[in-house]
Amino acid sequence: MIDILKKISSDFFNKQGYPSKKLENWKFTSSKNLIKFDKQDSPDIVSRKIETDESTLLFINGKLCLDTLENFKFKDNLEIQDLVNINDENVFAFSNTFSNDSMFNLGMSDFESGHYIKFKKNTTLENPIKIINFFENNSSDCRITSFNIFHFEEGSQVSIIEKDINEGTPSFNLKLNKFICDDASNLKFGKYIEEKSDCHLLSYSYYEVGKDVCLNIDSMNKNSIFSKEFIEIDLNNTGSDAKINILNLVKNEQHLDNNILINHNAEHCTSFQHVRNILDNKSTAVFNGKVIVAEGAQHTDSNQSNKNLLLSLDSTAFSNPQLEIYADDVSCGHGSTTGALDENSIFYLRARGIDQSSAQKMLIKAFAKEVIDEFSLSSVQDISEIALDSWING
Amino acid sequence: MIKIENLKASIDDKDILKGINLEIPAGEVHVIMGRNGSGKSTLANVIAGNETYEVDGGNITMETTDITEMSIENRALEGIFLCFQYPVAIPGVSMAYFLRSALNAHRKYQGKEEMDALEFLNKAKAILSELGLDDSFLKRSINDGFSGGEKKKSEILQLLTINPKLAVLDETDSGLDVDALRTVAKGVNKFKNENNSVLIITHYQRLLDYIKPDVVHLMIDGKIVKTGDMSLVEKVEKDGYSWLEK
């Protein structure tokens, strides 16, 4: 099955090539930055030992490190298969948006091995699982591609904190993930990306959501010189709730792009997108957020919010919140703001004896805190606050 | 305490203050009244160092220090406190964090040790109690979602916590009901002593029923045109300001 998919994807990419700026999803992000990463080099063995504990799943260059499974305390709750052994085409089904994106197809044709990781029915984990994605390469300009599928069976309640670590020479990490959330499952997925400054990241995360599912995605990203993240959520059955909260800290000439699509395909679902970008120097941030409410998806309640704080006259934010509604009994809202620190607020703080630099930092933290406070995982909140402090003072 | 000599200020090339002379000794409460647009709030903001305004001439001296060119925060640290007419809301910064940061900035400037969190909380809670505010006030973001009365009480809480040398109350009485007005006045009366000064900018007599001024100034078109005692307030209440132009 996987060989057929890889062949189809390879043909697609060879025909389409790298995406141009004429495409809506690539309008503000140039794929030219990625072309030079044309070598594939993803050794399984890395130069140093990576510390893991009994709640950590380690992926080295996108491949699950089976050694760490021996000590993994929740291994009885898991069922793991190599993707080569999966023959159910539904497992590999992705949205049309992804299937028609040439970089996604490049990833599908590229990856060497991946896993299907299933959390069994009614698995309840009190503490979060850690996923460490360790990337290391030996030659410059190389592309490391990974593809893994996570399946949360009915009634499972799982929290995951994912962290990327990059070592070696500059690379381009192309990550494809699929998350299948069965009925009544509860997934809290926290991502913390503190890449090396010369690492390029392009990720595609597709969430297939069943009935009465509660899905939370928390994400904090800083230091990526180039990061483009596609998140697509299909709310396919009634009563589900998806919340996405993202904080991006960008400076120097970093470029960061969040591309989010939520498809309300069923009645009585709720979704919430909250993306905040803080930009300094000559950095750029892009928000492409879309909610599509299908015909018949009545009683949808959806909200999108993108707020950009520009700390420099040379920083740029592109914000494109969109709603497509084909049902008539829904509540949908969206909003976007872009601006500098409020001078009146700075004056107010300084008039109480707080120096200008401290007043500015206080306001930056306040801006970020409003999204950090919405994170579903307290550990991601804590990590984000520490990262924010070092970013502001760095 | 503060001496203002021939102060001139403008905004967007429009002259607002046209030669203000004012001296407030320690231990005194002064009041400035005047029509809308006469320059009262501009004077308050220029004293506090608001950089929106251009100082075109004159001097402001705080005790023996010329603060005319001083930064906003250094003026505050020298003892100037502006009670804002429209306090800004700052979501995401708690009152406790803000107040403690402000207090410790002052203590550092005065060569004192920073106040630890417990000591600060005890101090703040005692003031909150006097203002009839719940302790949870400290957990709320600065002025965010506050009613008009709460905003003004927040200003008085800050005043009493920081304990500056000069309090400039810019229409602090506007939009307050009688109970809130009494609370604000009680706070100001608690603040004032023989070592500090208060400058009240107001349109109405009602706040002055609770805070007795020593000197009253009337301002017209960017200048103080009349100085006297409480009887001036009564005349303004009765006759307005047009008699000053005759």
- Residue A228 structure tokens: 């483009």
**Cα separation of A209 and A268, whole Å?**
13
Q: Is the model's pLDDT at A207 over the cut of 90?
A: yes
> pLDDT band at residue A195, thresholds of 50, 70 and 90?
low
Give, in degrees to the nearest 5, the angle at Cα A178 between A23 and A43.
Answer: 95
Identify residue B108 by its one-letter amino acid code.
Answer: K
Closest Cα in chain B, distance from residue A379 (Å)? 19
With cut-offs at 50, 70 and 90, classify the pLDDT of residue A48.
Answer: low
State how far the alpha carbon of B90 is from the alpha carbons of A139, A200, A277, A341, B99, in Å. 49, 36, 18, 11, 13
Interface check for A342 against chain B (CB to CB < 8 A): the answer is: yes
* Residue B106 to chain A, least CA–CA distance (Å): 7
**SS3 (DSSP) at A149:** strand
Would an 8 Å CB–CB cutoff place A20 in contact with chain B? no
Residue range B91-109: average pLDDT? 95
A83: which DSSP letter? G
Which among A242, A394, A262 has a CA at the least distance from the CA of A325? A262
Q: How far apart are CA A203 and CA A227, in angstroms?
A: 8
Strand order in A129-137's β-sheet?
Answer: A63-64, A56-60, A129-137, A157-168, A186-194, A214-222, A241-250, A270-279, A301-310, A331-339
Q: What is the pLDDT of residues A142-158, one digit of tens each?
A: 888 999 999 999 999 99
Q: Looking at the predicted structure, is the pLDDT value of residue A353 above 70? A: yes
Superfamily of domain B2-245: P-loop containing nucleotide triphosphate hydrolases (3.40.50.300)
> How large is the ipTM?
0.96
Closest CA to B210 of B241, B169, B161: B169
Using the Cβ of A347 and the Cβ atoms of chain B, whether some distance falls under 8 Å is answered with yes
More confident: B62 or A41? B62
Which residues have CB under 8 Å from A292's CB, separation 6+? A261, A262, A263, A264, A324, A325, A326
The average confidence (pLDDT) of chain A is: 92
Cα–Cα distance measured from residue A186 to residue A146, given in angstroms and rounded to the nearest whole number: 25
Separation CA A214–CA A204 (nearest Å) = 20
A361 touches chain B (CB under 8 A): no
Q: What's the pLDDT band for A44 if we cut at 50, 70, 90?
A: low
Mean pLDDT to the nearest integer, A84-103:
92
pLDDT > 70 fraction of chain A, expressed in percent and rounded: 96
Question: Does residue B79 have a pLDDT over 90?
Answer: yes
Closest chain A CA to residue B158: A352
A211-245 pLDDT, tens digit per residue, is 999 999 999 998 788 999 999 999 999 999 999 99
User: pLDDT tens-digit profile of A114-141?
Assistant: 999 999 999 999 899 999 988 877 777 7
B49, B76, B97 member nearest A352 (Cβ): B76
Contacts 24+ apart (CB under 8 A), A40-48: A40/A110, A40/A142, A40/A143, A40/A144, A40/A145, A41/A137, A41/A138, A41/A139, A41/A142, A41/A144, A42/A112, A42/A137, A42/A142, A42/A144, A42/A145, A43/A136, A43/A137, A43/A138, A46/A134, A46/A136, A46/A167, A47/A136, A47/A167, A48/A167
pLDDT at residue number B133: 86
Tell me: pLDDT of B245 over 90.
no
Does residue A45 surpass a pLDDT of 70? no
Determine, for residues A353 and B76 on separate chains, whether the beta-carbon distance falls below 8 Å: yes
A341 touches chain B (CB under 8 A): no
Residues of chain B contacting A352 with CB distance shorter than 8 Å: 76, 81, 98, 102, 105, 158, 162
Mean pLDDT of chain B: 94
CA atoms within 13 A on the CB side of B161: 35
Contact of A22 with chain B, judged by CB distance below 8 Å, is answered with no
High-pLDDT (> 90) share of chain A, %:
76
Chain A partners within 8 Å of B145 (Cβ): none
Interface test with A, best of B50, B82, B90 (most A CBs within 10 A): B90
In this predicted model, what pLDDT tens digit does every residue of B65-76 receive, in sequence order? 999 999 999 999
- Rounded to whole angstroms, the Cα distance separating A189 from A158 reads 8
Residue A338: predicted pLDDT: 97
* A41, pLDDT greater than 80: no
Nearest to A347 among B50, B81, B102 (CB): B50
pLDDT reading at A40 higher than 80: no
pLDDT digits (tens, 9 = 90+) for A375-390: 999 999 999 999 999 9
Contacts of B81 in chain A (CB under 8 A): 351-352
Cα–Cα distance measured from residue A4 to residue A86, given in angstroms and rounded to the nearest whole number: 12
- Give kind and range of the element (H or E) at residue B107: helix B95-109
- Nearest-Cα distance to chain A for B51, in Å, is 8
CA separation for the pair A320, A316 (Å, rounded): 13
Tens of pLDDT, residues B156-207: 999 999 999 999 999 998 888 898 899 999 999 999 999 999 999 999 888 9
Q: What is the pLDDT of residue A256?
A: 95
Neighbour tally for A85: CB within 10 Å: 10
Whether B43 contacts B17, CB under 8 Å:
yes
Confidence of residue A197 (pLDDT cuts 50, 70, 90): low
Please tell me the predicted confidence (pLDDT) of residue A193. Answer: 78
Closest partner CB to A344 (pick from B88, B98, B142): B88
**A278-313 per-position pLDDT tens digit:** 999 999 999 999 999 999 999 999 999 999 999 999
